Amino acid sequence: MPRINSASELEKLRKGILSVRDPDKPCIAICAGMGCLGLSNGRVISAFEEEVDKKDLKAKVEIRATGCHGYCEKGPVVVIYPEEICYVEVTPKDIPEIVSQTVLGKKVIDHLIYTNPDTGEKSAHLSEIPFYKNQMRQIFGNNTKIDPRSIDDYLAVGGYSALSKSLLEMSPEEVIDEVKKANLRGRGGGGFPAGRKWDTARNAPGKEKYVIVNAHEGESGAYMDRAILSGNPHSVLEGLIIGAYAIGSHQGFIYARHDAPQLKKNIDIALAKAGEYGLLGENILGSGFDFHVEVHLDIGIFVSGESSALMRSIEGNTPEPRPKYIHTSVKGIWKKPSVLNNVETWANVPLIINKGAEWYASTGTARSKGTKLVSLSGNIINTGVAEVPFGTTIREIVYGIGGGIPKGKKLKAIHFGGPMGGSIPESLLDKPLDFDELAKLGASIGAGSMLVLDEDTSMVDVARYFLDFLSNESCGKCVPCREGIRQMLKILTNICDGKGREGDIELLEEISDVTGAASLCALGKTAADPLLSTLRYFRDEYETSIAKVISPAEKRE
């Protein structure tokens, strides 16, 4: 493949790819995301290949192992294009029927399509299934159409046009302005305006600057970043190169997980392909802009994803956070200006450049623009990754997309943001998905994990669980975090074991005050957030558990 040296060569190549693709040619898109991988989709894929081979259909039918479709609950998921017929929970024995009936016969197989468990209503097409219908998939939608290992697939859906526009038609300042106007906020948890961060780094002194994709995703219950990066790696890479151009960086890093081999493989392929096409490396698209990317795998603890710890890890040091009295956008990796954004944040960038800030900002709420990917888990009918516009109510997500609570149970709470987040009770379900609204409720949106909890859940145990997680996954460097978590965990374990004592709640509050105020990094500062939110909304559960224990002793006295 010859290098692409200009915008016109890119468009010529794109036309070339599209011209040999017949939109009416049947395409079997099999989800090869990590959830489906766990459900043996490999056997489904090879069964399709064998069947197509056996029937000598190789020239007439395309098989595409795509990125995550999001509907993990019903995996392995298979979509047959061009009709977009969606089959769920597909097994290898279904394959001959799908090929003969649907791919060739254009008929829908009734027993393989989605059936609404409440109404019995069946949906044959992807866009009719409630899980998909109620979403707005502007970041995630291409996942069903792209083989993550194929750069041509990405180019076929318009990929790298935003890069070409940025490098060849816009100045770095114009790119930053567009991102600022779009009010793109960091999707990793902080919600910090990305444009402002970029601006700081651009204006910071120094020639060498870095851009980083934070693909660490250690938040329990969060798996949307994996779905984007392994399913559509070029969209993240394109955003990263645009960001690098905007701040004046020539070296980028992707910090990903060591325990996701498929992710690593797909990133490596994407980087190699982009390099081959001249979209990465020297003189990108003939613009004179050079940019290289290195992949780093994490040291497998949660705190590795904290920005300063992550940067130390890239330097080759232990992933321990350092204080950020000087921002990492001024002094980051090797004390050079470094812009770190999360996977989803980078994936939003091409969209903003392509369609403009005004279009982008027309979705969402006053201060949270665009869409957000959330990952649903816990006591919910539809586990999976969903994309919704900011402002969607939590109720719509849980019931409209998630399908509600299984086994006829009542919903008790939704826990956002994993071990640094918080829970909201059922009564607040009509609140919108919004960075600031949720933070006000004490349940920071975090990276977007939504753990749904039914009436049988003990909220004290939820708080205990997250502190237990952190006691293993923090670095242990600073005293308020290490010892504070140790002591809070002990108290909560006692309460859960029926050994709570009067004064425990007050002691928990005192410790959480100090941990929150004096810890070195954001992990320690927010370690008590799940505890505090459960105390805020479910204090009676704490009191009841403690009272149960105290009364007999008091009687004896």
Partner 1 sequence: MIMGKQKKMSEIIVQIDGKEVKAAEGMTILEAAQKADIFIPTLCYHEKLEPYGACRMCTVEVEVRGWTNLVAACLYPVEQDLIVRTRSEKVDKIRKLILEFLLAHAPCSPQLQDLAQEYGADKDRFEKESSFCIVCGLCVRYCAEVKKKNAVGFVDCGARREISFIPEIASKECNSCKECFALCPTSYLQAAFVLTESLAFPAESSQTALKK
Residue ranges in contact with partner 1 by CB under 8 A: 301, 303, 318, 322-323, 325-326, 470-480, 482-487, 489-490, 510-511, 513-514, 517-520
Cβ distance to partner 1 smaller for residue 450 or 511: 511
Q: What minimum distance in Å lies between the beta carbon of 312 and partner 1? A: 13
Q: For 67-102, give one letter per residue: b (16+ CB within 10 A) or e.
A: bbbbbbbbbbbbbbbeebbbbbebebebbebbbeeb
Cβ distance to partner 1 smaller for residue 133 or 490: 490
Cβ distance to partner 1 smaller for residue 439 or 514: 514
Note whether 296 and 253 are within 8 A (CB).
yes
Q: Is 173 exposed, middle or buried (0-12, 13-18, 19+ CB in 10 A)?
A: exposed
Q: What minimum distance in Å lies between the beta carbon of 329 and partner 1? A: 17
Cβ distance to partner 1 smaller for residue 438 or 463: 463
Q: What minimum distance in Å lies between the beta carbon of 400 and partner 1? A: 39
Distance CA 543, CA 540 (A): 5
Q: What minimum distance in Å lies between the beta carbon of 24 and partner 1? A: 56
Q: What minimum distance in Å lies between the beta carbon of 342 and partner 1? A: 23
Pairing of strands 384-389, 27-31: unpaired
Cβ distance to partner 1 smaller for residue 242 or 532: 532
Q: What minimum distance in Å lies between the beta carbon of 523 and partner 1? A: 10
Cβ distance to partner 1 smaller for residue 249 or 474: 474
Beta bridge partners of 384: 376
Element (H, E) at 212: strand 210-214
Element (H, E) at 471: helix 459-473
The three state secondary structure string of 219-270 is CCCCCHHHHHHHHCHHHHHHHHHHHHHHHCCCEEEEEECCCCHHHHHHHHHH
Cβ distance to partner 1 smaller for residue 458 or 487: 487
**Sign of the dihedral through C-alpha 231, 38, 110, 28:** positive
Q: Hey, what are 1's tokens? A: 């493949």
Helices (H), 356-419: 357-361, 394-395
Q: What minimum distance in Å lies between the beta carbon of 482 and partner 1? A: 6
Q: Which amino acid is at 154?
A: Y
